[in-house]
Every structure is written in C-alpha cells, then in structure tokens.
Amino acid sequence: MKTSSARRLGRALAVLALIGAGTQLTPAAAATPALQSIVPVPVSVTPAAGVAFPLVSTTKIVTEAGSAPAKQVGDYLAGVLRPSTGFALPVSDAPAPVPSDSIALLLSGAPSTVGAQGYQLVSTASSVTVRAQTADGLFAGVQTLRQLLPGRVESPSAQTGPWTVPGATIVDYPRFGYRGAMLDVARHFHPVATVKRYLDQLAQYKINNLHLHLADDQGWRIQIDSWPRLATYGGSTQVGGGAGGYYTKAQYTDIVNYAASRHITIIPEIDLPGHVNAALASYAELNCNGVAPALRTDTAVGYSSLCISKDITYTFVADVLRELAALTPGPYLHIGGDEASSTSAADYVTFMNKVLPLVAATGKSAVGWHDIAKATLPASASPQFWGTTTSDSGVSTAVSRGSKVILSPANKAYLDMKYNSSTPIGLSWAGYIEVQDAYNWNPGTYLSGVGESAVRGVESPLWTETVVTPADIDYLAFPRLAAHAELGWSPWPTHDWTAFRTRLGAQAPRWVAQSLNFYRSSQIPWDTGGTTNPGTCADPAWSASQVYTGGNVVSHNGHKWTAKWWTQGEEPGTTGQWGVWTDNGAC
Ligand code: TNX
C-alpha cells in the first residue's frame, strides 16, 4: 500500500517525465531529470512545470537576519558553489521580502511537518527559498539544492554552466533522527584530513552522526592526558606494522568542529573490556598479571581483556571517559563491548554494571555494540545491533525496558564486507553485500521485538583491517552508504529498488567531479553524461574525457581493450586503481 506522499511523489515524477521532454536539457539531464535524482528521496516533490531558477553571476545568498547558524549554512553553500561556478555568491542577512535573484535560507515559515531536521524548498524563476525550523534543517535543504544542480557543480575547478534549478516545492524530513556512519581509525590510522573528507561525503547524504572507533587491539588513537602512553606508545603502530598515529586533543577538537560545521555529531568509541591490547601494552598495571604484552599488528580478535577485578581498571576507564566527554559536545559515548571472549560472562556483566554509571557520571548516554545488552541497561543506553540474525533476546529485552536501538546488521550495513568475490579489499565473514543487498531491508521491521519507534536509526560501520587510503574508504563506502542513508531518511513507502538504482546512477557525475573512487556496481545504470560512442579498435581511440561502461571496446596504444565497468579518465594499460580495462591483445 502506498501513502499519499508516495503517490504524490509518483505523480510528480510522471509529470516530470512529461516536462523533461519540452525543456532545454543536456542529454545527461534529460536521462535523469534532477528532481527525480535526489538521494535520499524526499518525502514529497511537486514540480512547477516550465519553471526554473537560473543561478548566475549576480545571484546572492541571503540568510535569516541575525542568525549566526543560518549564516554559517549560507557560507557553507557558497563554499560549495563558488569553485565550479566561479560566481561571487555574497552571503548577507535576508531583507524582507526576499529579493529576486537570490537563494534564501530562512528560519521561519516552514510547515510544521518538517520538524527539527526537515525543510521546505521552493524554487521559482526568481529565487530558491529553503525554510526550516533549525539550521540542521536548512543544511539538509542545502544538500538537496546541490543535487538539483548539474553534477559538475561539485567540481573543485571552474566549469561551464548553465546552472539551473528546476522549479519545484519539496517538503522533506527524516524517518529516523539518527543517521550514522562509523570509521575505524584504530586498525589503520586515518589522519584528520581523511576524516574531514569523509565528513564532507556523509553530509551530502544527510548523515548526521560519525562514530569514530578510537581504540582497539592494534592502536589507541586519542591523546589522554592522565594516561599519556596510551597514545604515544599504544598509538605507535597499526595493522600490518605501519607507523599508526593518534589525534592530539587539538586535532580531535578540529574534527569535532569540522563535523559540527557539517551538522554532524561525533560519537567517540573506546572499545571495552575487550579489544584493549594497545592499552594493556601501554600500562603494565592494567594487566591482571602486571605484565604488559607486546603491541600487536595482526587482525586476531577476542584475546585481550581489561582486568575486571582490579580497582585501577575503573580509575582508568573513568579517567578516559571523563577526558573524552570533556572534548565531545555530542550526547553519546560509545563503550564498545563486542567480542569480549577473554572476559567471562559474569565478569562482563560486572564490568558493564560498573562502567555504565561512569558514562552517566560524564553526563553522556552510553552506546555499545549489542553485546552490552547482556547487562541490564538503563533506558538511556542504546545497543548497536551488529549481528547477522534477525532476533536478539538481549536487544528486545533492552527495548522493552525503554532503550532505543541503532541498526548495523553486519550482512546489510557493514561497509567493510566485499561486494562480491572479486572485490580487491574488504572482508567477507558476514557475506558479500552488493548494492541491492545494502538497500533491501526495512530498519523498522528488521529485528523481532524492535519496532519502528524503538529504532534510533541506521549506522554503516567501516572497519579498516584492509582499508588504508581515502580511495579505499571511497570504494567500500560508495555507493552502499547512499543506500543506507536513504533507509535512514526516506519514508518506507518510497522504498523501491528500481527507482533507487536510477537515482543512485545519477550520482555518478557528482562523484566523478569530486574524485570519489566509487565502486561501479553493474547493478546500477550509472549516468554516463549522455555519451554513447565508445569507439572501436580500428577507428576512434580511447579518450580521457569519454565515459565508458562495462563491455565498451576501445583501441589504445595498438591494443584493443574492453571496459569491465563504468569508467572515465582511467587509461587502458595504466589502469584505474584495480584495472578496469581488460587487454584483448593487439588490434
Ligand atoms: C567484527 S562488529 C568486529 C570488529 C571487526 C569487524 C570486521 C564488531 C562489533 N566487531 O572488531 O573489525 O568484525 O568486519
């Protein structure tokens, strides 16, 4: 059964298909009209037939008068649009009425249905007006506005217009208040610049939480003043034996502030009481036998545990949580809790019963991997489900006591699982996860005993045993992260794989413009920019600007090459990162 909003969307798209034929559109735009291409799909889109807003050199951005948060969103939007358009796009307080030739970001007049995170976007021939109740809502509206412009608007260098926003009224708000991603910076350390790059990508898809897995067996990644060797020694290596690293407090704060400017909350995790070899190696007194083990750079799990019976363990945990809480404006501290197989079941519960109040003492709410539900949780604590089944008695009991659940089922939401057997990086213990697998599940009915209202939201974890570079992060996160973002934001009645894959395919020009190394899944009809001429061995040769799709054949350097998947700018013979071109031999 479809809701009225879903029907409205369906009608809107049908109307669009009609008007698309009559307007001046590039071939690429004609293939995927912008209003049909938004990810996550909005609650409702009503096109204004024949109307379009031209973004031109004189366009100004005006923001709610006197509101610093609205001004910051305006500055952010200008920062996105200036490099590619080359326009000045000055940002100033909005006069009333809103002048023509402007993009207005206003904190009044939004319909009440948009709530705390949603927005209304109205584009006419003379202005684009985003209205929301909060700066979070304006920021979400700005992400939609980006997607209404051609993908090349995302380029860091000047591009050719025209820059046209189709006329429409969009009313939009999230299904779940929490939309998350997790980055493991412990297995391989990822520097501040990489985290910022990821934050920029998350923001585009309206993800509003980044959980940082800051400590594990192979490395401790955050400066703690009361236990300095955690970072300086415990952070000195990583999986495979590389140099590792850690964030100073100033660097962590830089990440927190950058995230805030993208309306993203940082959730720091210290994994306890297992996954602690780096801490045990740094301080002998944390070990039951008083002997510090060696640092580890392998990927074994389940062998390390804090000493549950020692008082110093709780001094240590309290110190770490206190320092972390002081650096973290968000409401959550994540205490891990998974795979503590070297801690007895009774000790595990003892430990959690002592540590949960230590979290509360910092004024924060606890999040933990769903194993923490083996203890009796306060309603404020959120178990994060990472299993591969669809029921868990600990989680459903916690829900009956008032807890809300974060859903990260490993066989759907784990970004570190391979797409298929030939994926060059990633793991496969929870199975292969193609884009359709990532998309086709309903968070509101997934776990027995955990209904829609007990779900805090969806989170996509990226563990980094095999993930070293920003390009690796891109490759595993995209496009699956966009699928999860839609599960977290869009109303369930809009859920439709066929429509989604087209909308997802339309993201390709944006990702290319951003140099995002996404996985060109053969399940997705990637937008090729309207180009169709692949060349032949005998005639036109490979060109760096041409888009090729799987099966296209070109000649280059006297050889004939076949593209395995969507590609642009990757030279046959030199290949892209993982060899998109198959060499078919001499022409
Ligand atoms: C399981 S999921 C883990 C991590 C690994 C991950 C690899 C969870 C809470 N623990 O320690 O990195 O699998 O996919």
**Per-residue pLDDT reduced to its tens digit, 501-542:** 999 999 999 999 999 999 999 999 999 765 545 556 665 567
pLDDT score for 564: 74
Residues 554 and 573: their CA atoms lie apart, in Å, by 12
DSSP 82-147: HHHH-----EEEPPSSPPSSEEEEESS---GGGTTT-EEEEE-SSEEEEE-SSHHHHHHHHHHHHH
**Catalytic center residues:** 339
Ligand 1 pocket mutation pick from 182, 214, 301 by most atoms within 8 angstroms of CB: 301
What is the sign of the dihedral through the CA atoms of 372, 348, 183 and 246?
positive
3-class SS of residue 532: coil
pLDDT score for 133: 98
Q: Which atom of ligand 1 is nearest to the CA of 216?
A: 11
DSSP 8-state symbol, 364: P
Residue position matching structure tokens 């804090």: 306
pLDDT score for 287: 98
Strand-pairing partners, residue 93, are: 63
- Identity of residue 79: G
Q: Nearest residue CA, atom 11 of ligand 1?
A: 301
Residues 571 and 96: their CA atoms lie apart, in Å, by 53
- Identity of residue 351: F
Residues 310 and 104: their CA atoms lie apart, in Å, by 59
Ligand 1 pocket mutation pick from 217, 299, 338, 385 by most atoms within 8 angstroms of CB: 338
The closest alpha carbon to 394, from 354, 449, 350, 340, belongs to: 449
Q: Nearest residue CA, atom 8 of ligand 1?
A: 338
pLDDT score for 13: 40
Q: What is the pLDDT of residues 546-584, one digit of tens each?
A: 677 667 777 787 787 887 777 777 788 875 556 778 888
Strand-pairing partners, residue 419, are: none
Q: Nearest residue CA, atom 2 of ligand 1?
A: 386
Is 271 close to ligand 1, i.e. is its CB under 6 Å away? no
Residues 554 and 299: their CA atoms lie apart, in Å, by 42
**With contact defined as beta carbons under 8 Å apart, do 249 and 304 qualify?**
no
Is 369 close to ligand 1, i.e. is its CB under 6 Å away? yes
Whole-number Å distance, alpha carbon 463 to ligand 1 midpoint, is 7
**With contact defined as beta carbons under 8 Å apart, do 549 and 535 qualify?**
no
Q: Nearest residue CA, atom 10 of ligand 1?
A: 338
Question: Which residues in the chain come in under a pLDDT of 50?
Answer: 1-32, 532
Residues 395 and 35: their CA atoms lie apart, in Å, by 39
Ligand 1 pocket mutation pick from 296, 339, 372 by most atoms within 8 angstroms of CB: 339
Whole-number Å distance, alpha carbon 270 to ligand 1 midpoint, is 14
Distances (CA, A) of 482 to 170, 349, 437, 460: 20, 37, 13, 10
Question: Would you state the structure tokens that stand for residue 478, as one six-digit string?
Answer: 């995209």
CB atoms inside a 10 Å sphere around CB 581: 23
pTM: 0.89
Whole-number Å distance, alpha carbon 314 to ligand 1 midpoint, is 25
- Please state the φ and ψ torsions of residue 280, each to the nearest 5 degrees: -60, -35
DSSP 8-state symbol, 241: G
Is 269 close to ligand 1, i.e. is its CB under 6 Å away? no
Whole-number Å distance, alpha carbon 503 to ligand 1 midpoint, is 31
Is 385 close to ligand 1, i.e. is its CB under 6 Å away? no
**With contact defined as beta carbons under 8 Å apart, do 404 and 454 qualify?**
yes
Distances (CA, A) of 415 to 50, 155, 380, 405, 464: 41, 26, 27, 19, 10
Q: Which atom of ligand 1 is nearest to the CA of 187?
A: 12
Q: Nearest residue CA, atom 7 of ligand 1?
A: 463
